[in-house]
Amino acid sequence: MSSVRSKTFVWWLLAQLCLAAVSYSQNKPASWTPQELTDLANIEKTALTSNYGYEQLSYLTDSIGPRLTGSPQHQAAVNYVAGEMRKLGLEVTLEKAIVPHWTRGNERGELVSYPGQSKNLSQKIVLTALGHSVATPADGLTAEVVVVNNLDELHALGRERVTGKIVLFNREYDKRVRDAGYSFEGYGDAVRYRAIAPIEAVKLGAVATLVRSVGSAEFRLPHTGLTMYDPHLSKIPAAAVTAEDADLLARLTKRGPVRMKLLLQTETLAPVTGYNVIADLKGSQFPDQYVIVSGHLDSWDLGTGAIDDGAGVAIAMQAVQTIQQLKLRPKRTIRFVAWVDEEGGISGALQYVKDYPAASHFATIESDTGAGHPIGFVTDSSPQALETMQPIAPILQNMGVIVSRTTEEAGADISPLSIGGVPGFAPLMDSRTYFDYHHTAADTLDKVNPTDLRENGALVGVLSYALATLSTPLPRVPKPIPDWMK
Amino acid sequence: MSSVRSKTFVWWLLAQLCLAAVSYSQNKPASWTPQELTDLANIEKTALTSNYGYEQLSYLTDSIGPRLTGSPQHQAAVNYVAGEMRKLGLEVTLEKAIVPHWTRGNERGELVSYPGQSKNLSQKIVLTALGHSVATPADGLTAEVVVVNNLDELHALGRERVTGKIVLFNREYDKRVRDAGYSFEGYGDAVRYRAIAPIEAVKLGAVATLVRSVGSAEFRLPHTGLTMYDPHLSKIPAAAVTAEDADLLARLTKRGPVRMKLLLQTETLAPVTGYNVIADLKGSQFPDQYVIVSGHLDSWDLGTGAIDDGAGVAIAMQAVQTIQQLKLRPKRTIRFVAWVDEEGGISGALQYVKDYPAASHFATIESDTGAGHPIGFVTDSSPQALETMQPIAPILQNMGVIVSRTTEEAGADISPLSIGGVPGFAPLMDSRTYFDYHHTAADTLDKVNPTDLRENGALVGVLSYALATLSTPLPRVPKPIPDWMK
Minimal CA–CA distance to B263: which of B110, B50, B447, B430? B110
A395 touches A335 (CB < 8 A): no
Q: Looking at the partner chain, which of B72, B218, B437 has a beta carbon nearest the beta carbon of A120?
A: B72
Buried b (16+ CB within 10 A) or exposed e, A358-395: beebbbbbbbbbbbbbbbbbbbbbeeebbebbeebeeb
Q: For an interface test with B, give the residue of A63, A79, A245, A254 to mutate (most B CBs within 10 A).
A: A63
Note whether A303 contacts B: Cβ–Cβ < 8 A: yes
Give the closest-approach CA distance of A158 to chain B in angstroms. Answer: 28
What is the pLDDT at residue A15? 52
Catalytic residue among B342, B343, B366, B455: B342
pLDDT for B273-325, tens place per residue? 999 999 999 999 999 999 999 999 999 999 999 999 999 999 999 999 999 99
Q: Which amino acid is at A301?
A: D
Characterize B46-66 residue by residue with b for buried, 16 or more Cβ atoms within 10 angstroms of its Cβ, and e for exposed: bbbebebbbebbbbbbbbbbb
Reported as a single tens digit per residue, the pLDDT across B432-443 is 999 999 999 999
Is it true that domain A32-102+270-485 has CATH number 3.40.630.10? yes
pTM over 0.80: yes
Interface test with A, best of B241, B244, B255, B445 (most A CBs within 10 A): B244
Mutation for A interface: B64, B117, B219, B255, most A CBs within 10 A:
B219
Nearest chain A alpha carbon to B120 = A72
Chain A within 8 Å of B435 (Cβ-Cβ)? no
Query: What pLDDT does A481 receive?
Result: 86
Sheet architecture: strand order including A127-129: A123-125, A107-113, A259-264, A141-148, A166-169, A208-212, A238-241, A127-129
Check A219 against B440: CB less than 8 A apart: yes
Q: Report the residue of chain A nearest B302, measured CA to CA.
A: A124
The per-residue pLDDT of chain B, averaged, comes to 94
- For the segment B241-285, what is each residue's pLDDT rounded down to a tens digit? 999 999 999 999 999 999 999 999 999 999 999 999 999 999 999
| CA dihedral of A239, A242, A244, A247, whole degrees rounded to 10 | 40
Which residue in B177, B189, B178 sits closest to B432, CA to CA? B178
Cβ distance of B65 and A436 shorter than 8 Å = no
CATH number of this structure's domain B30-102+270-485: 3.40.630.10
Per-domain residue ranges of chain B: 30-102+270-485, 105-265
Q: Which residues pair with B277 in a beta bridge?
A: B94, B338
Q: How far apart are the first and last CA of chain B?
A: 55
Cα separation, B166 vs B142, in Å, equals 9
Helix (H, G, I), strand (E, B) or coil at B349: helix
Contact A109, A80 (CB under 8 A): no
Write phi, then psi, for B475 (nearest 5 degrees).
-60, 140
| pLDDT band (50, 70, 90) for residue B344 | very high
Q: How, if at all, do strands A361-366 and A424-429 pair?
A: parallel
Distance CA B121, CA B113 (A): 9
Gap from B10 CA to chain A (nearest CA, Å): 56
What 8-state DSSP symbol labels residue B362? E
Contacts of B252 in chain A (CB under 8 A): 62-63
Per-residue burial over B207-222, b if 16 or more Cβ lie within 10 Å, else e, is bbbbbbbbbbbbbbbb
Decide if A40 contacts A392 (C-beta within 8 A). Answer: yes
Q: Give the number of other Cβ atoms within 10 Å of residue A219's Cβ.
A: 22
**Cβ of B62 under 8 Å from any chain A Cβ?**
yes
Q: Which of A107, A342, A366, A455 is catalytic?
A: A342
The residues, any chain, with a CB within 8 Å of residue A178's CB and separated by 6 or more, are A186, A216, A432, A435
Alpha-helical (H) ranges within B256-391 are: 311-325, 347-355, 383-389
Element (H, E) at A91: strand A91-103
The model's confidence at residue B24, banded by pLDDT at 50, 70 and 90, is: very low
Chain A residues lying within 8 Å of B221, measured CB to CB: 219-221
pLDDT on residue A6:
53
CA dist A107 → A128, A196, A197, A239 (Å): 6, 21, 19, 9
Predicted local confidence at residue B28, as pLDDT: 58
**CB within 8 Å: B118 and A248:** no
Task: Tell me the pLDDT band of B482, cut-offs 50, 70 and 90.
Answer: confident
Name the residue of chain A whose CA is nearest to B75's CA.
Answer: A118
> CA A214 to CA B480: how far, in whole Å?
52
- Chain B partners within 8 Å of A65 (Cβ): 121, 123-124
Q: Is the preceding omega at residue A309 within 30 degrees of 0, hence cis?
A: yes
Q: Which residue of A has its CA nearest to B80?
A: A118
Contact list in A for residue B123 (CB cut-off 8 A) is 62, 65, 304
In this structure, the number of other CB atoms found within 10 A of the CB of residue A420 comes to: 16
Cis peptide before B309 (omega within 30 of 0): yes
Q: In which residue ranges of chain A is pLDDT below 70?
A: 1-29
The shortest C-alpha distance from A113 to chain B (Å) reads 10
Cα gap A388→A405, rounded to integer Å? 12
Helix-strand-coil percent breakdown of chain A, rounded to 5?
40, 25, 35
Residue B251 has its nearest CB partner, among A62, A219, A220, at A62
Chain A partners within 8 Å of B76 (Cβ) = 118, 121
Of all residues in chain B, the one with the smallest CA distance to A60 is B116
Which residues 6+ apart lie within 8 Å of B11 measured at CB? none
**Residue type present at position A171:** R
Query: Cα A361 to chain center, whole Å?
Result: 21
Task: State how far the Cα of B333 lies from the Cα of B290, in Å rounded to an integer.
Answer: 5
> Are B121 and A303 within 8 A, CB to CB?
no
CA distance A153 to A145: 14
Does the CB of B181 have a partner CB in chain A at under 8 Å? no
Query: Residue B121: which of A73, A221, A441 has the nearest Cβ?
Result: A73
Is B342 in the active site?
A: yes
The DSSP secondary-structure symbol of A392 reads: G
> Between A120, A220, A437, which is nearest B441 by CB?
A220
CB A380 within 8 A of CB A409: yes
| Nearest Cα residue in chain A from B304 | A123
CB-based contact B73 A441, cutoff 8 Å: no
Q: Rounded distance, CA B354 to CA B312, Å?
A: 23
B355-390 pLDDT, tens digit each: 999 999 999 999 999 999 999 999 999 999 999 999
**Which residues pair with residue A147 across a beta bridge?**
A168
List CB contacts (< 8 A) between A303 and chain B: 220
Provide the chain A residues 102-161 that lie in CB contact (below 8 A) with chain B. 114-118, 120-121, 123-124, 126
- Inter-chain touch B116–A62, beta carbons under 8 Å: yes
- Cα B353 to Cα B485: distance, rounded to the nearest angstrom: 12
Which residues from chain A sit within 8 angstroms of residue B116, using beta carbons?
59, 62-64
Second CATH level (architecture) for the domain B105-265: 3-Layer(bba) Sandwich (3.50)
Chain A within 8 Å of B254 (Cβ-Cβ)?
Answer: no
Q: Which of B364, B365, B376 is nearest to B431 (CA)?
A: B376
Helix, strand, or coil (residue A473): coil
Contacts of A80 in chain B (CB under 8 A): 118
Interface touch A437/B121, C-beta < 8 Å: no
